[in-house]
Amino acid sequence: MKTNTIVKILVDIGMTIILMLLMAYELVGRQAHEWLGMSIFVLFILHHVLNRKWAKSIFKGKYTLFRGFQTIVVFIILMTMLGSMVSGIMLSEYVFAFVKPGSGYEIFRNIHMLSAYWGFVFMSIHIGTNVGVMTGMIKKTKAYKSKSGRFIFISVPILISCYGIYAFYKRLIWQYMFLISHFVFLDYSEPLVFFMADYFSVMVLFATVGHYLSKFLQSLSTRKA
């Protein structure tokens, strides 16, 4: 495997882990939350530098349904990342404590919540649209070539996704996405690992949706061709 590919994978893994920790908010502490936010923004920039060829070709070539979908997802992620960063700076109590939002505090808090939860969902979908390299590597293994291996490879993400549907409602993520609730409810007595497990299952849910939707769109493009 090429060094550039390894670096890309490590950056993406780092972003995924930090994203999960960011969703825990006060369970990891406000100061840690702010530094994690800075870290994911740096990795986000590095991710785009490493994938600059994709950015350079955005206005080139023919757009298929899949490419259009993928581009829209990336654009939404960019908007949510910028929204999270700007609002995060305005709400900062540690890293950018010198910045004061004044009367706009509530507006920035709402922007931060919307950006965080919509960003989490679309980043998860984005992961699903780009798991081709990983699945390709798995399909080359001896384990996958067996019937039981293929069954596990397909069924495990689906089973986790089923629990992810429950966790999506249990954790009130849908309410935060539409500002039905303006406050995030956290159980401070709950071990962080349980919270992370639920959010991981939600991430797998939307990554699975993104993966199969991508395959569907690619098949439609193939039929038209």
Token look-up 């999960």 returns: 20
Q: Which two tokens stand for residue 18?
A: 């930090």
Report how far residue 15's alpha carbon sits from residue 28's, in angstroms, rounded to the nearest whole number. 16
The arithmetic mean of pLDDT across residues 178-183, rounded, is: 92
Are the C-beta atoms of 80 and 119 separated by less than 8 Å?
yes
Q: How confident is the model at residue 176 (pLDDT cuts 50, 70, 90)?
A: very high
Q: What is the pTM of this model?
A: 0.91
**Cβ-based neighbours of 127, under 8 Å, separated by 6 or more:** 12, 16, 203, 207, 210
Q: How confident is the model at residue 185 (pLDDT cuts 50, 70, 90)?
A: confident
Helix (H, G, I), strand (E, B) or coil at 174: helix
Q: How confident is the model at residue 140 (pLDDT cuts 50, 70, 90)?
A: low
CB count, 10 Å around CB of 39? 15
Q: How confident is the model at residue 109 (pLDDT cuts 50, 70, 90)?
A: very high
